[in-house]
Structure 1
Amino acid sequence: MKGFRQIIGHKDVIAHLQNAIASGKVSHAYILNGEKGSGKKTIARAFAKALNCESDEERPCGKCHSCRLADGGNHPDIMEITHDKPNSISVDDIRGQVVEDVQVRPYSSPYKIYIIDDAEKMTMQAQNALLKTIEEPPSYVVVLLLTTNASSLLQTILSRCVMLNTKPVPDSQVRTYLMEHVKIPDYQADICVAFAQGNIGKAVQLATSENFNEIKGAAIHLLTHLKDMDIADITAAVKAVTEFKVDIRDYLDILAVWYRDVLYFKATNDANGIIFRENLRAIQEQTRRCSYEGIERILEALQKAKARLTANVNFELTMELLFLLIKENGE
């Protein structure tokens, strides 16, 4: 379990939590709000570890008995709430693991901490049950709600919690982390950084995912062969893309980054500034064929395709229209 020093980025959030510990003004409830993979759980665990750390100096120290228990996932006063249904946290989950448990004093620590990940999945009944605990908590209780969508929580819960929003980690820090800790080459790190957009969890996932490399390979194959495809070939390509339906946003992001590279190279002729440097020859060829207006139309179409798929517009129709527009404007 990481301490604050090992967390990449999120300086403002970490400073707030460290100041709360140092001043003794720890709130009874916090909301950590940010996209999936942004580091909310890592921050929450470090905060929980620091709250119960036995050191008089830097907290968490990582050496005391409490920190060692936390590192092993066996701390009796740090609870991570579980739920059987993947898409729902029920009232029974909250009552059994939080509401009824808070009356028992900490076993060996100053604080008893409850970490509720995916808090947006709490049912209304579960939120109302939790509200009673947040409204009148024992002095030793700290509840940490981790969510990708704070607006899904009851206003009465929001008003009683300290809201902390995670922000994108600078690309340079994400790139360094991938190269030093995941041990990938610089050109691969650049691609992962471009897609992660400051989300270090997503960057690590992409860097270690065979599925992402497969999607990237399929997208680049399409982009380099689309000019020679007829309608039948495009229809077949759409059917092939259905294999990646779950990851279609990643697929569309790859197309968008490719055309941003084309746009950048067309404007600057600078190969060092593009993401797909290993495909430089294909980028150069596409740059010669595409107009600025055509590239802009393609980038706009990619955004529209995302919006349509989010709105559950027919998948095959959306992708076929997109491929035809790319073919029309990419020559």
Structure 2
Amino acid sequence: MLGFNDIIGHEEIIRHLKNAIQTEKVSHSYIFTGDPGSGKKLLAGTYAMTLQCEEGGTEPCGHCDSCKKAIGKNHPDIIMVTHEKPNVITIDEIREQIINDVDIKPYCSPYKIYIVANAELMNPQAQNALLKTIEEPPEYAVIMLLTSNIDALLPTIRSRCVRLDLKVVDDGLVKKYLMEHLHIPDYQAEIDASYAHGSIGRAKQVATSQEFADMTQNALRILKNADGMEVYELTEAIKELSNDKQNISDYLDLFQFWFRDVLMFKATREVDNLVFKQEINYIREQASQRSYENLEKILDALEKTKVRLRANVNTELALELLFLTIREK
């Protein structure tokens, strides 16, 4: 059972939500905004469950009838708004699930809560229709809009909702979570946490993905041997990478972590802050062989490669240029 106490990070938002419950100043409309995987759904769901909990505290009790229904995702007064098409929420869907429903009093709870995930997908007509309900809601209604692109919401909607910005969670907390909850070994949790850029959702995804583990091993194999590879071996590696188009930006991220580690170790001689701690022998060796200028050049080349690939430049060509830079000493 998850309550606010089990959520990693987001302390300020949790304080705000608990305070709203305590002082009975629950708003009729909220916007939870943050990157995909930042925990919007988890926060909104926990808030909804707490608001409906029969114990009436600032944490959901987890065992009353209301909490059990919320956990089982079949609470009649917590409505998750759904949509048919993958990239649009239409006016009909908003009318049917919120506007025409909101005047019916809650079945068994103090509130009637509507959660709209990916709210940026509402087209302007749907948003305009919803605006009236946000402006004049019944006293028991709470509408939560979750979005990773707040600019796609109309200014009129933005100005009438309490806005909660989810910040990224510290890498150390993400790593700790992976080790304690998913029993991921230390060095792997370090890589997963760095890669997830503060998103617990993304960290869980990569930590449990065999594909990501294989990818990390393959990236390391290339990085450790790039200097000594024969031209034909490098060409093979480049071909292999360019065929794996959907993972190419993940590979480039891993390459970036590696060369940042080499640069960091060269500058500080400290192992603590490295992502690839377990590869310290290789990192030490590369740090002694490469100049600061060379490492800066490589990191710059990695950024340029990302830009080129986004601009649909030939993948193989972009990677060849990158490897030429990596092989220069």
Are residue 216 (structure 1) and residue 220 (structure 2) matched?
Answer: no
Q: Is the 8 A contact 2:32 2:144 kept in 1?
A: yes
Number of residue pairs matched? 329
- Aligned residue number for residue 88 of structure 1: 88
Task: Work out the percentage of aligned pairs sharing the same amino acid.
Answer: 52
- Aligned residue number for residue 182 of structure 2: 182
Distance 1:100 1:16 in 2: 30
TM-score normalised over the length of structure 1: 0.93
Residue 47 of structure 1 and its aligned partner are, at CA, apart by 0.5
Letter aligned with residue 63 of structure 2:
K
Are residue 26 (structure 1) and residue 54 (structure 2) matched?
Answer: no
- 1:163 aligned counterpart, secondary structure: strand
Distance 1:280 1:313 in 2: 34
Residue 314 of structure 1 and its aligned partner are, at CA, apart by 4.0
Per-residue deviation, residues 72-117 of structure 1 (Å, max 9, x unmatched): 1110000111222222222232222222221221111111111111
- 1:30 aligned counterpart, secondary structure: strand
Residue 321 of structure 1 and its aligned partner are, at CA, apart by 2.2
- 1:273 aligned counterpart, secondary structure: coil
Q: Is the 8 A contact 2:169 2:199 kept in 1?
A: yes
Distance 2:276 2:50 in 1: 42
- Aligned residue number for residue 300 of structure 2: 300
- Aligned residue number for residue 240 of structure 1: 240
- Aligned residue number for residue 138 of structure 1: 138
- Aligned residue number for residue 201 of structure 1: 201
- Aligned residue number for residue 153 of structure 2: 153
Letter aligned with residue 6 of structure 2:
Q
Residue 43 of structure 1 and its aligned partner are, at CA, apart by 0.2
- 2:114 aligned counterpart, secondary structure: strand
Per-residue deviation, residues 2-35 of structure 1 (Å, max 9, x unmatched): 2111111100011111111111111111111111
Q: Is the 8 A contact 1:215 1:244 kept in 2?
A: no
Q: Aligned runs of 1:1-331 on 2, under 5 Å?
A: 2-229=2-229, 233-328=233-328, 331=329
Change (3 A) 1:157 1:82: same
Letter aligned with residue 54 of structure 1:
E
Letter aligned with residue 28 of structure 2:
H
Distance 1:287 1:161 in 2: 51
Where structure 1 has 5 or more consecutive residues not aligned to the other structure, the ranges are: none
**Where do 4+ consecutive residues of structure 1 move more than 6 Å?**
none
- 1:275 aligned counterpart, secondary structure: coil
Q: Is the 8 A contact 2:22 2:58 kept in 1?
A: no
Where structure 2 has 5 or more consecutive residues not aligned to the other structure, the ranges are: none
Residue 285 of structure 1 and its aligned partner are, at CA, apart by 2.4
Deviates more, 1:276-285 or 1:241-250: 241-250
Q: Is the 8 A contact 1:2 1:45 kept in 2?
A: no
- 1:303 aligned counterpart, secondary structure: helix
Q: Is the 8 A contact 2:111 2:140 kept in 1?
A: yes
Q: Is the 8 A contact 2:50 2:57 kept in 1?
A: no
